[in-house]
Amino acid sequence: MPELPEVETVRRGLLGAMEGKLIARAETRREGLRWPFPDRMAERLSGRRVIALRRRAKYILADLDSGETLLVHLGMSGRMLIGEARAAPGEFHHAHPAPEKHDHVIFDMEGGARVTFNDARRFGMMDLCATDAVETHPLLAKLGPEPLGNAFSEPYLADALKSRNTPVKSALLDQHLVAGLGNIYVCEALWRAGISPVRKASALSRQRAAALVPVIRAVLGEAIESGGSSLQDYRQADGELGYFQHKFAVYDREGEICKTHGCGGEIHRITQAGRSTYYCRRCQR
């Protein structure tokens, strides 16, 4: 599932085609994805201008001049891809290619760009709500602070982890504690911080807990600059792969030698809450 860096990369990739632009025509090609689409969604989107394109956790939010906001979640395999109308050889008329099987929502934008939501597994979602009520939307209301925002501070995280008796990795994946963190980047951050993912969160000293904040921000920042991580279905808005997977220190490196200088340990994989955790038992304590 795309995590914060992938969603932020997609948002940035869509800015030129969508922010400030009119949705000339929206089309829904099925009744819904993970859940049914909101009533008359295509009609409510068509003719509206996108005044801002932002992100909250793993959601893309498109604020419209109608006073509504479109919420988009990519799910397991969702992609938002930009295409330009092209003329066939020998023709002057420009047209977009016919939609493909898993192209479920289409936005024909002012200026000729087409943004297509493609989702083979159909675990993505879209919803519409009043812009001034976005923060109280059921999917967003209980989310924790953004890990790249000021509210995610060293004192905040030290206090939050002190009250958790779960493994520190499980605590960091709790979207109520911090929004947007996912399995890949928590594994990478814990390795950089030298913290074992199985250590109880409450057992961490305040100093070690606080030190996670700049590490988490650094990992996320590097991943965003790399266009995210492409392991299965994820693509950037222009269709290109992300390449942060080539920089993984522990994730998906079971049996390989730890990259910590002088460590010499081996990367192990365990299962926590149904998810694979990768770490070095020698240098992560």
Active-site entry in 12, 44, 206, 275: 275
What CA–CA distance (Å, rounded) separates 164 from 102?
Answer: 41
Residue 275 is a catalytic residue: yes
DSSP state letter for 55: E
Q: In Å, how far from its chain's centre is CA 147?
A: 12
Helix (H) or strand (E) holding 186: helix 183-193
Residue 247 is a catalytic residue: no
Residue 58 is a catalytic residue: yes
Active-site entry in 21, 56, 58, 164: 58
Q: Summarize the chain as % helix, strand, coil (round to 5).
A: 30, 25, 45
What CA–CA distance (Å, rounded) separates 285 from 256?
Answer: 19
- Contact predicate 11/55, CB 8 Å: yes
Residue 89 is a catalytic residue: no
Active-site entry in 3, 6, 68, 188: 3
Rg (CA), the chain: 21
Q: List C-alpha distances in Å: 122 to 23, 102, 247, 280.
A: 23, 8, 29, 35
- Contact predicate 282/263, CB 8 Å: yes
CA dihedral in degrees (64, 68, 69, 75; nearest 10)? -120
> 């953004």: which residue's tokens?
146
Active-site entry in 2, 145, 167, 197: 2
Active site residues: 2-3, 58, 275
